[in-house]
Amino acid sequence: MSKIGFIGLGNMGGPMALNLLKAGHQLKVFDLSAKALETAAAEGADVADSAVAAVEGVDVVISMLPAGQHVQSLYLQGDAALFQHIKPRTLVVDSSTIEVSIARELHASATQHGLVFVDAPVSGGVGGARAGTLSFMVGGEAAAFELALPLLSDMGKNIFHAGGAGAGQIAKCCNNMLLAIQMIGTAEALNMGVRNGLDASTLSEIMQQSSGNNWALQVYNPYPGVMPNVPAANDYQGGFQVNLMAKDLGLAMQLGQQSQSATPLGAHAKSLYDLHRVAGKGTLDFSSILKLLNGS
């Protein structure tokens, strides 16, 4: 059982914190939303009135924030910069999806402050956060990974040690770029098949059992009517928003640019999601890219 300071109780952070509570950990939580704090308090968390207060006297700090600038601000900037308030040798886990460069800046600064830092972005969405089945992609020293492992296991199912500082963010970037490409490709294939008279379910099954097989065909089919309980079955409500996929693709493009990696289909996927947002579809699930293709 650990004493954990948890910062950021949004759609992802909220259920992650609850799973830690269920696993028997003691939590001090902070968020800007009073409502989020109330919910956590009702489940047994101690509510802190600032991030600095939340990390006082804890063994582990976990953060789950929307973007790199928030994480930079939290740990590094101003008098309330958490790295100046967390006690030495504390494990700090940032599960936000952020720029690799910022993750590396955090690693360096944490080391200077005598802290043990891992970048540990997740995959699996709100559903995975609630069910405690998230995947964690962890970057940091092997010892730091080992230290974080039991804790992450209370929130997720697959915990990967991707490599050194920033490697978690890099792995997530690569995975989500591939995911975006495959989702669009799947939508293109299904749309073309249906326009030529094939049944979407039949074609999905054929491709799933052939070389076209992928995660979307297995559990997240973008074509309405093929699968129950996916966003496509619900007018693309819920799931992983186009806006968030566009954000992740922006991070991927930045990583590609910095490392001079050619990502032609990744860049094209970003363009298509950009066009989809421009057409007003930003808050739909990312499998709604089918609508860009078929005008529905």
Any idea which residues carry the catalytic annotation? 172
Report if residue 233 touches a second copy, rule: CB under 8 A. no
Q: Is the dihedral of CA 24, 127, 210, 184 positive or negative?
A: negative
> In angstroms, what is the minimal distance from the CB of 123 to a second copy?
5
> For a second copy, which residue of 61, 144, 203, 242 counts as binding (CB under 8 A)?
203
**Residue 138 main-chain phi, psi, to 5 deg:** -110, 130
Nearer to a second copy, 80 or 178 (CB): 178
> For a second copy, which residue of 2, 11, 73, 158 counts as binding (CB under 8 A)?
158
Distance, CA of 172 to CA of 100 (rounded, Å):
10
Report if residue 118 touches a second copy, rule: CB under 8 A. no
Give, rounded to a whole angstrom, the gap between the first and last alpha carbons of the chain.
51
Report the site for a second copy in 170-199 (rule: CB under 8 A): 170-171, 173-179, 181-182, 184-186, 188-193, 195-199
Distance, CA of 92 to CA of 60 (rounded, Å):
6
Report if residue 213 touches a second copy, rule: CB under 8 A. yes
Nearer to a second copy, 6 or 286 (CB): 286
Distances, alpha carbon 200 to alpha carbons 34, 191, 228, 237, 287, in Å: 45, 8, 14, 20, 15
For the window 9-48, what string marks contact with a second copy as x by the rule CB under 8 A?
A: ----------------------------------------
Nearer to a second copy, 43 or 274 (CB): 274
Report the site for a second copy in 48-77 (rule: CB under 8 A): none
Report if residue 206 touches a second copy, rule: CB under 8 A. yes
Q: Which residues contact 35 (CB under 8 A, 6 or more apart)?
A: none
Per CB under 8 A, the segment of 1-9, 64-72, 88-96, 201-209 that binds a second copy is 201-209
Report the site for a second copy in 82-111 (rule: CB under 8 A): 100
Distance, CA of 181 to CA of 186 (rounded, Å):
9
> In angstroms, what is the minimal distance from the CB of 51 to a second copy?
28
> In angstroms, what is the minimal distance from the CB of 258 to a second copy?
8
Rg (CA), the chain: 20
How many of the chain's residues bind a second copy (CB under 8 A)? Answer: 84
> In angstroms, what is the minimal distance from the CB of 181 to a second copy?
4
DSSP assignment of 56-102 equals TT-SEEEE--SSHHHHHHHHHSSTT-GGGTSPTT-EEEE-S---HHH
Nearer to a second copy, 27 or 100 (CB): 100
Nearer to a second copy, 54 or 226 (CB): 226
> In angstroms, what is the minimal distance from the CB of 3 to a second copy?
30
User: Which amino acid, one-letter code, is at 150?
Assistant: P
Q: Pick the closest to residue 107 from 173, 171, 174, 164 (CA basis).
A: 164
> For a second copy, which residue of 67, 76, 147, 265 counts as binding (CB under 8 A)?
265
- The C-alpha angle 157, 160, 161, rounded to 5 degrees, equals 150
